[in-house]
Structure 1
Amino acid sequence: MITTLTALALVASVPPPLDQICPIELMVLGTSQDGGSPQLSNRHDPAWSNAALRRYATSLAIINRETGERVLFEATPDLREQLYRLDNFEPREDRPGLEGIFLTHAHMGHYTGLMFLGHESIGADGVPVYAMERMGDYLRSNGPWDQLVRYGNIELRGLVDGQPVYIAGATVTPFLVPHRQEYSEVVGFRIDGGEKSAIFIPDIDSWEEWDEMGTRIEDMIASVDYAFLDATFFANGEIPGRDMSGFPHPFITHSMERFADLPDEEKAKIRFIHLNHTNPVRYPDSPEREQVLDAGFGVALFHEVYCLSR
């Protein structure tokens, strides 16, 4: 069950009637690469004048509609706006009203929203932040993040590769992926809600490097109902004047080639996410997006909601 709640990036969600509630839902709160769209100093981007084209940095949320529990994946620079949308969908009186925040790694678009939990902003009290060992050490040992820990704004909780965490009626399991590790490990997450499941891999160097680590992305896709996969760039050449062949992300064109022989039902599970501001797939009417959809794949949409448990 997939419900697109809005076609505009800046319109608040309206939850379904009570008799149509899905107990555990997965909501898309952002689909862009770390810098969002439009990006800083890119004054020609049409999203400056057309709010419908604006996109927040990539984030998902688990919502338990029966208990009101909410869990966030990534603390992006767009955290304020994303929590506003979440509050309109599943309101909470406490701030920020989160049972936990799960972080994939220490790149800008994935953790810097933690700053809004500090005393300069809402002065949160003990928000559980789930992170791998190096990621947790980075937050404890580097300012200004260590202040969040010392002031008790966040409570760091360790993650271990392959070990599940039970939270908000769902199960979240981290798994290591190959990607630039300047400050921390990099993980994806498997999210199980009872009946349905998803994987979330916003950043990875390449599917082939993961093969060498003993994990095939095709096997991961086969094991779940939805697969949110790194689609930062569409193809080499989309950044003028640069050879992008060594960029540490799988191009969408490469992913489509690799997945071309998958059965239609496997292709339909894929939701490309984490789109760079240069990626033409971010535009709803682009030929590149049409190419992706015609090939049987999907593109993650802001405010889209997936039912994980009936």
Structure 2
Amino acid sequence: MRAVILGAAAGGGLPQWNCRCEGCRAARTGAVPPLTQSSLAIRAEDGPWHLVNVSPDVRYQLEALGAHDRRADGGDAGAPASFHDVVLTDAQLDHTLGLLTLRESPEPLTLHATDTVRRLLTSDFDAGGMLAQWRKVDWHPLRTGEPTRLAGGLVMTPIDLEGPLPRYAGGGTAPGAAVGLVFSEGDATLLYAPCVARLNDALRGHLATADCAMLDGTCWSDGEVAHRTARQMGHVPIDGDDGLLRLLERVRPPRTILVHLNNTNPVILPGSPERARLDELGVEVAVDGMEVRLRP
């Protein structure tokens, strides 16, 4: 199994267009690498790529994936990256706005999504309807706990993370609004959960058995973002008595990587005390282009 983190940042990326925080300044000066918005490409060893979430930065991310493939496997230097289908973990804007960029193709687009996500993307934010004016969209339902065999042999099982509805849909929560995805090939498993509103039993159980977990690392503390807390935005903070770090101190897969990093999060700064705490635990901080390989 091969997984490439196409985008490691939360909504808006790093640096944010209108921000002068320490993280954005560091990205502008080259002290830390800039990050595009959250997305993943994953495949079985010999299968096609599956795109997980479609950020507004998808065009650049697919170009980078094509270059990654050429470095790893050789191939046509002028060929674009190709993917077989798209899986959506939620209907948040930073995970779905790129769907409209994928409009210019004669081929149908296969979209895996929960019933809740499909409803949001064909009503409140009708990206599905707009996209269908250019190319056919084949919706495939994601149902929590039910495995789906993807092209190439990868098996994908969604878990409900009791996540928030997007702000454009009025907020609140709904079943299937945000899911984590457990990918498996043979006995190798990878958990991808970029939006975690609550550390529920489903997440805890799969965290204990995963070979690698890519987890929501949006905010270090609950109050680091002005005007809204991390939990109000639908993200468990890393620190705090009931934060992600406390769980990882008890249950941690062989490899743990934090994704969906907000520009305000001090862990993006290599010399910060917060980053040092993660380093002590062996928890990694994602960057664009990071690859994970798991063998059955």
Q: TM-score range by the shorter chain?
A: 0.7 to 0.9
Give the SS at the match of 2:132. helix
The TM-score normalised by the length of structure 1 is: 0.79
Give the SS at the match of 1:306. strand
Matches of 2:294 and 2:106, distance apart in 1: 29
The reply on whether 1:230 has 2:216 as its aligned counterpart is: yes
The TM-score normalised by the length of structure 2 is: 0.82
The reply on whether 1:35 has 2:23 as its aligned counterpart is: no
**Seq. identity, %:** 25
> Is the alpha carbon distance of 1:148 and 1:41 closer, same or farther for their aligned partners in structure 2, counting shifts above 3 Å?
same
The reply on whether 1:190 has 2:174 as its aligned counterpart is: no
The reply on whether 1:61 has 2:41 as its aligned counterpart is: yes
Which 10-residue stretch deviates more, 136-145 or 174-183? 136-145
> Is the alpha carbon distance of 1:152 and 1:272 closer, same or farther for their aligned partners in structure 2, counting shifts above 3 Å?
same
Q: What corresponds to 1:12 in structure 2? A: none
Equivalent of 1:256 in 221, 238, 245: 245
Q: What corresponds to 1:174 in structure 2? A: 158
Residue deviations 1:79-128 (CA, integer Å, cap 9, x gap): 0111011111226888662111100111111111101112xxx3352121
Matches of 1:99 and 1:179, distance apart in 2: 27
Q: What corresponds to 1:97 in structure 2? A: 82
Unmatched 5+ stretches in structure 2? 71-75, 170-175
The reply on whether 1:116 has 2:101 as its aligned counterpart is: yes
Matches of 1:243 and 1:86, distance apart in 2: 34
Matches of 2:293 and 2:256, distance apart in 1: 16
For residue 165 of structure 1, report the CA deviation from its aligned partner: 1.4
> Is the alpha carbon distance of 1:106 and 1:149 closer, same or farther for their aligned partners in structure 2, counting shifts above 3 Å?
same
Give the SS at the match of 1:259. helix
Is the 8 Å Cα contact of residues 56 and 78 (structure 1) preserved in structure 2?
yes
Task: Report the RMSD for the aligned CA atoms in angstroms.
Answer: 2.6
Matches of 1:268 and 1:65, distance apart in 2: 20
Give the SS at the match of 1:252. coil
Query: How many matched pairs?
Result: 274
Residue deviations 1:181-222 (CA, integer Å, cap 9, x gap): 245721110011224211111112121xx2xxxx25332111
Residue deviations 1:230-283 (CA, integer Å, cap 9, x gap): 111101443368766755322111222233234xxx354321111111001112
